[in-house]
Chains A and B, each alone.
Chain A
Amino acid sequence: METNTKDNMSTGGFSTPPSYFNDLETRVQQRISVSTKHWILRYKYALSAAATCAIVLSVWLLQAETTLAIPQMQQVDYTAYVNDNIEDFNDDEVTDACIANNSVASNDSEYEAYSNYLLDDNIDENTLIDEL
């Protein structure tokens, strides 16, 4: 039994096992390293989940950006190209290209109505180019 440097009165009569205070620091340091490991373990799964979510989100955003950006770029490039090289196209080619382009986006009935409009109203090429 030891009561250490404090006198027996101030300890209230309590005592400790022999040399109890001598290695208290070592035991506390051990507990600190264990508790730090526990902290890392406790948050390991949460950190893994967060990292996975971040990766999935990044990939998704990258894909979304690529998917959205390409048609816009194509549209801009196409328009700029046509504007820059308008002299190189003859009127028939432009008309055919426009009809072909619109036919991709339009459904069959729209295409048919468009064809009928051109044929029935006897639209000349200049009017058509102006309208387009």
Chain B
Amino acid sequence: MGQWTDQDLLDKFRNSETKNYGFNLLMQQYKQRVYWHVRRMVIDHDDADDLTQDVFVKIWLALDQFKEDSKLFTWIYRIATNECISFLNKKRKRFFIPIINIENQLLHSLESGIHYSGDEIQLKLQKAILTLPEKQRLVFNMKYFDELKYEEIAEITGTSVGALKASFHLASKKIEEYIGRD
């Protein structure tokens, strides 16, 4: 399946006759990136599935208002990122969980091994990532796994490139320390 340009997708979506087709193409193009981005943040598959669907519903509702002042995928990532942060914040509030414990809960989901097929090293890496503060975790995932440029991450998170570089550097150091402990 070939890649569609942002303009192709938007043109199809904005035409009432090809709106559904255009949206299906958009989903085909971005569903995996959105899912894995969300999954790495919320760990649990069911939560990630739910949030991924929410993200695409929001995209459907808001795509008409997309101003094209950024790339479509950074706009989509921004929606997905906001959904993840809102979800984790809600989870904290709902269960009165102090900030430190939500990561423990995510760690528990990870260790349960449901829909996890990584080897021992990957599991250790994920555990190390879970020790990071939420923002660092977000930046590290986008840089390390999605291989996004700092400029793109800056657009998604609304943070300066300098701050992102510092954040990634700090996160990498902490992960190295965690992995080097044993």
Contact = CB atoms under 8 A, between A and B. Distances in A.
Interface residues of B, number: 33
A21 B40 contact: no
B126 to A, nearest CB: 6
- Among the interface residues B32, B43, B61, B145, which one has the most CB atoms of the partner chain A within 10 A? B32
Interface in B89-118: 115-118
A32 interface: yes
A28 interface: yes
A13 B27 contact: no
B66 interface: no
Interface in B22-73: 24, 27-28, 31-32, 35-36, 39-40, 43, 45, 49, 52-54, 56-57, 60-61
A47 B175 CA distance: 55
Interface stretch (A3-11, A67-75, A111-119): A3-11
A14 B40 contact: yes
Interface in A32-50: 32, 35
A13 B32 contact: no
A6 B115 contact: no
Contacts of A20: 49
Contacts of A12: 36, 39-40, 118, 122, 125-126, 129, 141, 145
Given A10-B145, A28-B53, A32-B57, A15 B117 contact: yes
Interface of A: 1, 3-6, 8-17, 20-21, 24-25, 27-29, 31-32, 35
